Structure 1
Amino acid sequence: MADISIRREGAVRIIEMAEPASGLTLDNLRTFTEALETAQQDDETAAVLLVGPADAFCSGCDLGDFLGCGDLDELAGTVRSFFRALALGSKPLVAAVDGPAVGLGMTMLLHFDAVFATPASSFAAPFADLGLVPEAAATLIAPLRFGYLRAFEMLCVGRPFSATEAHALGLVTEVTDPERASERALHVASRLARKPKAALQATRALLRADPIDIESRIDAEIAEFRARLEDAATVKRLGRLLRMADQARSAA
């Protein structure tokens, strides 16, 4: 389970993740959702900054926690609320990335307006290898932004992209030194927070995909994701991968 802390610096709401290798639990997603919703409702917050731990931005969801959830309706509702809060808010989102961004750790960045990554960062969406499907409306946004072939390579082939490749692709705004990534991200978030709110939010909304399409795709992906978790072969595959990961951690 990750530790998530929230604070405000000026008009920037800062969400910091201190994440173990196992990934984000459902409780983590609830905390994250609440932080995003609070930022939207708070008139003193004009931008949101997400900062991950050094060398390990986000390894995605804690699959053990997901598999252990006895109520798939609750699971689907929690995931849906998180992605809606992430995708449908009106305030700018900025991220500082250092290390691997995997699964949800990568797809959620599709909703950010500025992403600053270190050279050690990498981006991967191995959903097909796990027997799962992408989320966060990635199947809508990735082809629109990167083109079908690159989106297929990312979401179906599951090839990891380096920070330099992600920058060329348009997933990353800037590749910067590890010592400066968070500083650069905070600088840009603070700069955005000083701009006229209505004009910035209107321009941002016009630049982005139709929110109705995004919400509909989030729901469609979650329905398919849930169906995969109800598939016995998928559950068996995930269980085997989790056991292998546990053995690797024990041997380390």
Structure 2
Amino acid sequence: MSTIQVKDDNGVRIITFNRPDKRNALNLQMYTRLTEYLIQGESDNEIRAFMFRGQAECFTSGNDVADFLKNSNLGVDHPAFRFLFCLLDLKKPVVAAVTGSAVGIGTTLLLHCDLVYADASAKFQLPFVRLALVPEAGASMLLPQIVGPVKAAELIMLGESFNAAAAHSYGLINDVIDSDDIFQFALHKAKLLAQQPPISLQATKRLMRYNREEVRTQMKKELAEFATRLASDEAKSRFAAFLKK
């Protein structure tokens, strides 16, 4: 069974996190597949939009910590960060349907999506500081721009979980959708995007994300600090406790 499932539907590439026994925790192989499917879809003129989803119980619980620590030599070629930089560079629009846990990268990847919908079961969390790390995916820049610096400090520095209603009020998601309808609703929106004039749509996305190079620079700064923090005694202690638990 593939841990990343892909289906193309009327111009939309649907990418499903499919590791429910591990709460869709992302390992290095999954990151590699995600990047490959995005690159393929970006070069395919029949694909006009992307959609991320998980199962009803979980979007993704973040990194598979044990697997991530096996390749802790972080840099721009690390599978997780290759995926994040690929997401940053996508020209085509991205929709996300969030159900259940969206932890760590499960929340930060949403900052690079153009439309995000969640159901009432969705729980978002940015636990980086709790793990003695720092944010990634440009979250240290993008989150303050979206929710304001005061709320961003609360969400990142305390790392407490928050629900879909809160995420909607902060402007992190477009709407809260009934659980029975969430996947079809998000897919419908993705198909509407796929029906738009593609060159105009991509140009509009490029104009709206005018600070992409600034975000790239910030992501590289985060990566350097993340690597330093990951190697620290502070982080090793936190991860040891996490894995033991």
CA contact (8 A) 1:134 1:155 kept: yes
- Residue of structure 1 aligned with 2:55, choices 53, 56, 76: 53
Partner Cα separation in structure 2 for residue 80 and residue 18 of structure 1: 20
Partner Cα separation in structure 2 for residue 196 and residue 139 of structure 1: 33
Decide whether aligned partners of structure 1 residues 189 and 47 sit closer, same or farther in structure 2, where only a CA change above 3 A counts: same
* Residues 27-176 of structure 1 aligned to structure 2 (within 5 Å): 27-69=29-71, 72-73=73-74, 77-176=78-177
Report the Cα offset of residue 232 of structure 1.
2.4
Report the Cα offset of residue 37 of structure 1.
1.0
Partner Cα separation in structure 2 for residue 154 and residue 228 of structure 1: 19
RMSD of aligned Cα (Å): 1.7
* Structure 1 portions without partners, runs of 5+: 245-252
Partner Cα separation in structure 2 for residue 180 and residue 209 of structure 1: 33
Partner Cα separation in structure 1 for residue 185 and residue 84 of structure 2: 25
CA contact (8 A) 1:57 1:101 kept: yes
Residue 11 (structure 2) aligns with: 11
Question: How high is the sequence identity, in percent, across the aligned residues?
Answer: 36
Partner Cα separation in structure 2 for residue 51 and residue 240 of structure 1: 30
TM-score w.r.t. the length of structure 1 is 0.92
CA contact (8 A) 2:3 2:18 kept: yes
Report the Cα offset of residue 79 of structure 1.
2.4
One-letter amino acid of the structure 2 residue matched with residue 46 of structure 1: R
One-letter amino acid of the structure 1 residue matched with residue 170 of structure 2: L
CA contact (8 A) 1:2 1:25 kept: no
CA contact (8 A) 1:2 1:17 kept: no
Q: Alignment length, in residue pairs?
A: 243
Report the Cα offset of residue 80 of structure 1.
2.3
CA contact (8 A) 2:76 2:82 kept: no
Partner Cα separation in structure 2 for residue 74 and residue 224 of structure 1: 11
CA contact (8 A) 1:50 1:95 kept: yes
Whether 1:186 and 2:187 are equivalent positions in the alignment is yes
Report the Cα offset of residue 22 of structure 1.
6.9
One-letter amino acid of the structure 2 residue matched with residue 180 of structure 1: D
Deviates more, 1:4-13 or 1:17-26: 17-26
Decide whether aligned partners of structure 1 residues 207 and 14 sit closer, same or farther in structure 2, where only a CA change above 3 A counts: same
Decide whether aligned partners of structure 1 residues 21 and 51 sit closer, same or farther in structure 2, where only a CA change above 3 A counts: closer
Partner Cα separation in structure 1 for residue 178 and residue 24 of structure 2: 26
One-letter amino acid of the structure 2 residue matched with residue 17 of structure 1: F
Deviates more, 1:78-87 or 1:188-197: 78-87
Whether 1:202 and 2:199 are equivalent positions in the alignment is no
Deviations, residues 149-180 of structure 1 (Å, cap 9, x unaligned): 11111111112121001011111111011111
Partner Cα separation in structure 2 for residue 214 and residue 52 of structure 1: 26
One-letter amino acid of the structure 1 residue matched with residue 218 of structure 2: R
Decide whether aligned partners of structure 1 residues 166 and 204 sit closer, same or farther in structure 2, where only a CA change above 3 A counts: same
CA contact (8 A) 2:126 2:160 kept: yes
CA contact (8 A) 2:117 2:174 kept: yes
